Copies of this chain bind each other. A is one copy, B any other.
Amino acid sequence: MLVNGQNADAISIEDRGLLYGDGIFETILCEQGKPILFEQHVGRLHKGCERLLLATQDVDTLHSEVMQVAQGDDCVIKIMVTRGVRARGYRFDTHDRAYTRIVYRSPVPKIPENYYRQGISLALSDYRLPKNETLAGIKHLNRLDQVLACQGWEAEIAEKVMLDHEGLVVEGTMSNIFIETEGVLITPTLNLGGIEGVMRDWLINHAPQLSIDCQQQDFDLVTLEKADAIFMCNSVVGIWPVVRFQDYTYTVSDNVRQLMRLVNNKLSALYKA
């Protein structure tokens, strides 16, 4: 665990990351010490820094700290950048460049193999995501929406999908969603909420190489229910095909199988391609 480059496992109780959730984070899968999709994660991190007017982080420093902490077994590295310890109150002086940069590791989560082989059950969260165009897309530290959406989780459910107040589909609690309708992949725009997942971006960019048409477009619950196929994805777990959503069942389409082969097998080798 590193805090501003020093070995540490704690931060000040006056850090704005704790006081206000005033910061951003990334969660990066590391295979045999190597961070997967590192540049993409750093790209989103910098986008978050810009949006929140946080001090931009030096890429080489980030890389060397991640490499240092990721040494050894496969792991998940979390990076957090907060606005650090400042004068009391919400206001902040943009000339004050104080920040706290945290890098630490966790074990790779143990995912049941049948999530990939058979597919998952998806549930609908009762919790509606608020509209917030300023915070949309970035991975900031205000995550009570996701925490609250995870209340009352049933064991047979792998993930929940969240709608906004207009009833449009936004994302899963910890993943992005794609549907397939008449051969076309569609994923929500995230213009007004949700996190622009690194895996989501990667799939949007790489689908054309497999001759798969992939579009960003908002859709409602009925469109989701009537989709030909559904999958959830993020950069740590890869792609989970959905075989059940509420009372509906789905098969895993050829397109989804193609993308799964690309993403879920030997992530590191393929990501280098």
Question: Smallest distance from the beta carbon of A234 to chain B beta carbons, Å?
Answer: 12
Question: Smallest distance from the beta carbon of A83 to chain B beta carbons, Å?
Answer: 8
Q: Number of A interface residues, CB 8 Å?
A: 55
Chain A 2-43: CB-based contact to B (< 8 A → 1; otherwise 0): 010000111111111111111001000000000000000000
Q: For A11, what are the chain B residues with a Cβ–Cβ distance below 8 Å?
A: 10-11, 13, 18
Q: Are A174 and B89 CB-contacts (below 8 A) given A21-B20, A144-B140?
A: yes
Q: Which of A148-156, A198-206, A215-223, A261-269 contacts B (4 or more CB under 8 A)?
A: A148-156
The residue from B25, B91, B130 contacting A153, defined by CB atoms under 8 A apart: B91
A-side binding surface: helix, strand, loop or mixed? loop
Since A18-B82, A52-B148, A130-B132 are in contact, a sample of 14 more A-B pairs with Cβ atoms closer than 8 Å, ordered by chain A residue number, is A3-B13, A9-B12, A10-B11, A10-B13, A13-B104, A19-B25, A21-B141, A22-B147, A76-B88, A88-B106, A91-B153, A91-B173, A135-B144, A141-B144
Any B CB within 8 A of the CB of A131: yes
Which positions in A face B, CB cutoff 8 Å?
A: 1, 3, 8-22, 25, 52-53, 76, 80, 82-83, 88-92, 102, 104, 106, 109, 127, 130-132, 134-135, 140-151, 153, 165, 173-174
Task: Let me know if B18 and A147 touch, CB within 8 A.
Answer: no
Stoichiometry, as copies per complex, reads 2
- The closest CB in chain B to the CB of A138 belongs to B144
- The closest CB in chain B to the CB of A1 belongs to B13
Task: Let me know if B174 and A144 touch, CB within 8 A.
Answer: no
Question: Smallest distance from the beta carbon of A148 to chain B beta carbons, Å?
Answer: 6
The complex places the Cα of A22 from the Cα of B102 at a distance, in Å, of 18
The complex places the Cα of A109 from the Cα of B153 at a distance, in Å, of 43
Question: Smallest distance from the beta carbon of A90 to chain B beta carbons, Å?
Answer: 4
The complex places the Cα of A3 from the Cα of B10 at a distance, in Å, of 12
Q: For A82, what are the chain B residues with a Cβ–Cβ distance below 8 Å?
A: 18
Q: For A10, what are the chain B residues with a Cβ–Cβ distance below 8 Å?
A: 10-13
